[in-house]
Amino acid sequence: MPLLGNTLELLKYKNIAEYLKGVQSKYGDFCEIHFGFKRLLIISNGDVAHPIHTSSVTLSRKFLYRDLKNPGLDEMGIENSGIVFNRNLDEWKINREFVERIVRSRNFLRMIAGKTYEMATDMFKLWDILINDQREIDLSKWLEKFSGDISVTTITGLPAYSVHTCFNSLGYEDNCDNLSISERELSSKMISLLNSFFKTAQWFSLVPPFIRHAPGISFFNGKLSKLIKDFEVFLIEIIQKRRAEIDLLSETTLQSSDFLTLLLTVNTSHGIELHSHKSLNRSLNDYEIFGVIRDILFGSVETVTTSMCLVFYNICKYSSIKSKVLTEIYTIFGHSNSSNFLYEDLEKLSYCDALIKETLRLNTPFPYLPRSNNEPVEVGGYLWEKEQTFILHYQGININKNDWIDEEIFYPERFLRSEDNEQSMNASKVNAREAFATFGGGARVCPGKHWAIIEIKVLLVAVLMKYEIEFVNKDQGLDMAFDVSYHWRELKIRLRPRMQET
């Protein structure tokens, strides 16, 4: 239908992710669809996506926008701040450079590894009580809380106790004696505002302005607008308080290595200096830092939760793969639950890396994301005017039969470089450009990909060294729902303490 375009086709599918699979099957790896008057160019092939995902500055600078202008996101303030949807390209470049320099810092990555291990061992104390009481564990619920706590603590430096709240909801009582009442309230407010912001962003980005501001609905829209402002005020107060604390310190005083502190001290006597461009020879102001912190929080919780659950799902499902992972872990860390957990050791876990990549190849938390060109560009053999919406169908790229051998088979070894392995990434059929696209690419590649993988690897090592893990239901499948990303409904596991070898 001319006015609706392909919109009615959506009704045949459970969600947009499934619809895009159908589009790829029906129309091929590069096609054009229309939702009303909006044109979408769907890319499900790594070679076609190359101009967008390439590291070439000449090409990638043509795709600096995440998407076309969205009135709802603009109303939220998201399109003029932060690093995800920011359309102010000068500010976006500065923010992006600051973020990348911090997250590539080995000191920061060591902090991530250490803090994740510390918080995992704290969670294990609660799990041990559940194990002693022969309770099942819904890993999806626990890791949602764990990921939230890790994000809040490593990003803002604030203590977080959602894991303890989850434990108490099961009829137990853990008073978190190491946290003051004010710290608990601050942590609880942070998690509450963050969860509200997730839901609010979906409303503003998907619902047209004429509906949001219509009589009878505008009141609800106003309440959501207040939540956005409350979140901004809350984060800026934290930023200003931390800045004041830093200003009182001497230059030689050691700083916390949480993300907020590092961001506040860039180009100051307390932190690292950026000399790559004259526009970077300054510090970020409070509102710029707010936008960055907001976006990092927004993008780190649910995707990491889903990824962690998927990795443990595959560990439970494939016993041979679990054995290979354990062998590698024991080779690097030995057989004891040592607290001497070094970031440098994580870099040696090549099979664990392959397991995580293969997991995220077959089940991409964000199966698609938009990109928009800020100048005319050639893609797929056609010249496109500026401001087109390209939908990068990551799930389709990751299992494209033209790029992958046995594309739908779970086989971590394909990510281990080996001339003797036909399915290795060295194989000619699999050596396609941008064939693995889970983290995106080009100018808007996910800046936190190493950060996320470290958290997953630390938890994987910590859990497997301490526990035997198996499904409660041997026929457990992928019990996931989809809205703008995939998330687990339920993943029940049974844990037993692992016998330690002497």
Q: Return all residues near 218 (Cβ < 8 A) that are at least 6 apart.
A: 212
Instruction: Give the span between the Cα atoms of 483 and 16, in whole angstroms.
Output: 8
- Give 392's strand partners: 43, 369
Instruction: Give the span between the Cα atoms of 329 and 331, in whole angstroms.
Output: 5
Residue 382 backbone zone (phi > 0: left; psi -120 to 50: alpha; other: beta): beta
Largest CA distance in the chain: 72
Residue 11 backbone zone (phi > 0: left; psi -120 to 50: alpha; other: beta): alpha
How many C-beta atoms lie closer than 10 Å to residue 329's C-beta?
21
How is residue 225 written in tokens?
């607008």
Instruction: Give the span between the Cα atoms of 68 and 409, in whole angstroms.
Output: 36
Instruction: Give the span between the Cα atoms of 24 and 39, in whole angstroms.
Output: 16
The secondary structure of 315-331 as a DSSP string is: HHH-HHHHHHHHHHHHH
DSSP helix/strand/coil, 223: helix
DSSP helix/strand/coil, 215: coil
The secondary structure of 129-161 as a DSSP string is: HHHHTT--EEHHHHHHHHHHHHHHHHHH-----
How many C-beta atoms lie closer than 10 Å to residue 72's C-beta?
20
Residue 446 marked ligand-binding? yes
* 32, 42 Cβ separation under 8 angstroms: yes
Say if strands 492-497 and 467-471 run parallel, antiparallel, or are unpaired.
antiparallel
Q: String of b and e for 140-172 (b: at least 16 CB within 10 Å)?
A: bbbbbbbbbbbbbbbbbbbbbbbbbbbbeeeee
Distances (CA, A) of 36 to 1, 273, 378: 9, 48, 25
Enumerate the known binding-site residues for heme: 446
Enumerate the known binding-site residues: 446
